[in-house]
Amino acid sequence: MTQHASDDPNRQRGGVFRRRTPFASTPGTGTTRRTRYVDDGHLVRAPRDTSVDDAQAFTDEDDRRTALLLYPSPTPEDVAELANTWHLHPLLVEDLLHAGQRPKLERYDDTLFLVVRSAWYVDATEDVDFAEFHILVRPRAVAVFCQDGRWIDGLDADDASGAADRGEQTLLDDEQLLHHGPEAIVYRLLDAIVDGYTPVLRGLDIDREQIERQVFGGDAAVTERIYRLSQEVIDLQQATSGLTEVLASLRDGFRRYDIPAPLQSYLQDVADHLSRAEVRVGDLRESLSQILTVNGTLVAQRQNEDMKKISGWAAILFAPTLIGAIYGMNFDNMPELHWAFGYPLAVGGMVAFALVLYIVFKRQKWM
């Protein structure tokens, strides 16, 4: 039976994939895979050059064992090796080979497939970046594919001095939780992703406040910034709403797959944090929509004021232009054409008309 999620937080527990050096295993040639073993909730050293077959043999020996396979930079060869050992469905293999998917949950026989997206805020460019993770969950085994080559916090997932050394502290440090099997590792990963949305929302809130000041300050460049920030918020909303449906699907399977009560409570806590984040994202999007409306109104008002000034100056210049046009026709039989006071009177009339109109428009606040 296949379950589908949609196409598409308030505490921190440290960086994701932080590991303790004694338990690290060296990946085999041609792969970036890192293998971690859990035996009855306790971490054990994975042998050097551990393969997927070796990991499965380890878990097959005891139902209380779990293997975690991390793929910082997955390759087609990695997918092929895992598919061969785990006998993955062809459609699932195709999904693993293609990134750029929205959050979803699907089940292929005894394998649960999740697509989730983490987010982090880039202050220098005022952008929100995302990383896509494909997660496979089987009895006694979990595989995590970092499709963008980055961990949850945006660091290079294959950097041995950075994110690659940040695994076990977040995912594998709670031995009491790890007693409940591979689902515990998945829930910790989802929790870390949801926690990562909080600083993103904080950065977006700061941008929104700055935009509000720009709008009321009359900055002409603020419209483009509003549109850009709105796009970032929409992308984040797609990630959070999709993950909400993924969590809902996981909770629907609690009874069917006999998920332990502690894990149910843990996932409910994650869902509560995600719900708060999703509400904040919705409020932020609505706020930006209102700001855009206000900005359009203010721009229209400024344009109206400009049109008033233009119309006022056009009216002021009209009277002198009219007098000049009449006396510039040079007809022989025009009255006052040869009058000695005609020129100063015409000029005076031009100035008087212009001055009167200027005073009138000034009182009407058109000037």
- Are 80 and 52 in contact by the 8 Å Cβ rule? The answer is no
How far is 236 from 194, CA to CA, in rounded Å?
A: 11
- Please state, in angstroms and rounded to a whole number, the distance separating the CA atoms of residues 241 and 163: 27
pLDDT the model gives residue 7: 38
Task: Decide: 115 and 134 in contact? Cβ < 8 Å.
Answer: yes
What pLDDT was estimated at residue 39? 87
Phi, psi torsion values for 80, nearest 5 degrees: -65, -40
H-state helical runs in 64-135: 76-86, 90-97
Q: What is the pLDDT of residues 103-132, one digit of tens each?
A: 999 999 889 999 999 999 988 888 899 999
What is the rounded distance in angstroms from the CA atom of residue 204 to the CA atom of residue 332?
76
Residues forming a β-bridge with 186: none
Residue pLDDT tens, the chain, 367 long:
334 333 333 333 334 333 333 334 444 446 778 888 888 888 887 887 889 999 999 888 888 899 989 888 899 999 999 999 999 999 999 999 988 888 999 999 889 999 999 999 988 888 899 999 999 999 899 999 988 888 887 877 665 444 445 555 666 667 777 788 888 889 989 999 999 999 999 999 998 888 888 888 877 778 888 888 889 999 999 999 999 999 998 888 877 777 888 888 888 999 999 999 999 999 998 988 888 888 777 777 676 666 767 777 777 777 777 777 766 666 666 666 666 666 777 777 777 877 877 777 777 776 6
Report d(CA 165, CA 231) in Å as an integer.
33
Q: Give the per-residue pLDDT at 293.
A: 81
Instruction: With beta carbons less than 8 A apart as the criterion, state whether 18 and 170 touch.
Output: yes
CB–CB of 96/111 below 8 Å?
no
As a whole number of angstroms, the distance between CA 74 and CA 80 comes to 10
* Single pTM value for the model: 0.74
The answer to whether the beta carbons of residues 95 and 82 sit under 8 Å apart is: no
* pLDDT given for residue 31 in this prediction: 77
